[in-house]
């Protein structure tokens, strides 16, 4: 009897061990089959009441999680990386991607600043139209070759004007003004008109205006209103110092993108492109109502005469040739061809709108 009892115990123990091993084996196989979650960090800027922080900080992570079945998780902090360093941070893989304005890299990647040539972009809808039709393929090739960066989407800040503590009704009124530009090329335009183009980081722009370090700045209408610049710069001066939109883009580190599972790559591209298009349209929709609200609060809109606009464009035409030369110097000999295609497209685009 004792022997039978021992055999029963041994049999039961073997059965339990076998069952446990079997269960663990199944768990191991299941774990192997379950895709590993990928986590990316995207950098974004603080942009007042533009749609950006809501689109990219709230909508995009949810949309990406849903589209990828939870396999790609996006963290989208604000100002994790200083704006001037974002391009290199993405290139070097410190962060996997970013949403940023191109003027901050006009020194080393001027191809992204075509919008800043006075007179090129005249209406808020022109930037997304011309980038999708013409510019995208040039930017994509250039970013990949120079930085191993993938262009995933476009963004912009429309309603660009010169905001100042004084009215600027004529070209002569620019003389002696200290004005903060968004990048190298609008600063060149200011200098051609007799003003001082002051380079100040975006994070310090408000203090510079508040403390009268500068008399005004170039920025978008919504951020001018929502971030308090309108308290110190009471005049909206509608000069074509730069285009009507400030260009921005959505970029991703090349190695990070290449390491994605093949089935996720088209999904990620589609979602990021969708985010850019959604945000472009949203930002444009804010401009008209913001302008009306500002007028009701006593902000003055200065619209120069056609003759003064013509004079301004004539005096600043050297910005175009400088941009082409700087692009060629930085390794973008295709800039002249791109600009010619941009202008040809816009002529046709405007003709169809009439």
Full DSSP string of 126-187 = HHHHHIIIIIHHHHHHHHHHHH-EEEEEEEEEE-EEEEESS---SGGGGTT-EEE-SSHHHH
SS3 assignment, position 308: helix
Tokens 């191809």 locate to 111
- Write the CATH number of the domain with boundaries 36-163+222-227+235-353: 3.40.190.170
Spatial separation of the C-alpha atoms in residues 70 and 80, rounded to whole Å: 24
DSSP secondary structure string, 178-239? EEE-SSHHHHHHHHHTT-EEE---GGGHHHHHHTTSSSEEEEEHHHHHHTTGGGT--EEE--
The pLDDT of residue 12? 52
What are the phi and psi torsion angles at 259 (to 5°)? -80, -10
Nearby residues of 1 by Cβ (< 8 Å), 6 or more positions away: none
Give the whole-angstrom CA distance, residue 139 versus residue 134: 9
Q: How many CB atoms lie within 10 A of CB 3?
A: 7
Q: What is the pLDDT of residue 30?
A: 42
**Predicted local distance difference test score (pLDDT) of residue 46:** 85
The pLDDT assigned to 29 comes to 45
Distance CA 224, CA 258 (A): 39
The 3-state DSSP class for residue 347 equals helix
Identify the CA nearest to 221 among candidates 125, 127, 293, 116: 293
Q: Are 162 and 241 in contact (CB under 8 A)?
A: yes
Q: Six-digit token pair at 136?
A: 């995208």
Task: Give the residue among 45, 248, 43 at the shortest CA–CA distance from 151.
Answer: 248
Per-residue model confidence (pLDDT) at position 10:
52
Contacts of 234 (CB under 8 A, 6+ apart): 165, 298, 299, 300
Q: Average pLDDT for consecutive 10-residue bins of the chain (354 residues)? A: 51 50 47 74 90 95 97 96 94 97 94 96 96 98 98 96 97 97 92 93 90 95 93 96 94 98 98 97 95 96 97 97 97 98 98 89
Q: Which residues pair with 8 in a beta bridge?
A: none
Question: The whole model's pTM is what?
Answer: 0.86
């Amino acid at each position: 009897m004792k022997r039978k009892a021992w055999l029963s115990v041994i049999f039961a123990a073997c059965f339990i061990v076998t069952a446990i091993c079997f269960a663990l084996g199944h768990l191991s196989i299941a774990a192997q089959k379950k895709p590993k979650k990928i986590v990316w960090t995207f950098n974004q800027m603080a942009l007042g009441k533009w749609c950006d922080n809501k689109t990219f900080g709230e909508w995009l992570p949810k949309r990406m999680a849903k589209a990828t079945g939870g396999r790609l998780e996006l963290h989208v902090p604000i100002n994790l990386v200083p704006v001037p360093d974002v391009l290199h941070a993405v290139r070097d893989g410190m962060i996997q991607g970013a949403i940023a304005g191109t003027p901050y890299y006009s020194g080393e990647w001027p191809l992204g600043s075509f919008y800043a040539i006075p007179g090129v972009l005249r209406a808020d809808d022109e930037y997304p139209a011309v980038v999708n039709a013409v510019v995208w393929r040039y930017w994509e090739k250039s970013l990949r070759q120079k930085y191993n960066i993938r262009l995933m989407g476009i963004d912009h800040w429309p309603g660009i004007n010169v905001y100042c503590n004084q009215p600027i009704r004529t070209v002569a009124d620019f003389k002696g003004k200290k004005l903060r530009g968004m990048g190298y090329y609008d600063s060149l335009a200011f200098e051609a008109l007799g003003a001082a183009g002051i380079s100040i980081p975006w994070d310090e722009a408000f203090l510079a205006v508040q403390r009268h370090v500068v008399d005004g700045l170039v920025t978008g209408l919504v951020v001018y209103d929502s971030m308090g610049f309108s308290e110190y710069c009471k005049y909206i001066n509608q000069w074509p110092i730069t285009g009507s939109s400030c260009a921005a883009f959505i970029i991703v580190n090349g190695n990070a993108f290449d390491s994605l599972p093949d089935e996720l790559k088209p999904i990620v591209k589609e979602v990021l492109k969708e985010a850019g298009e959604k945000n472009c349209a949203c930002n444009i929709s804010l401009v008209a109502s913001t302008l009306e609200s500002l007028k009701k609060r006593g902000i003055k809109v200065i619209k120069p005469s056609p003759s003064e606009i013509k004079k301004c464009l004539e005096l600043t035409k050297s910005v175009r040739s400088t941009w082409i030369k700087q692009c060629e110097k930085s390794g973008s000999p295709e800039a002249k061809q791109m600009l010619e295609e941009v202008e040809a497209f816009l002529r046709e685009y405007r003709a169809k709108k009439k």
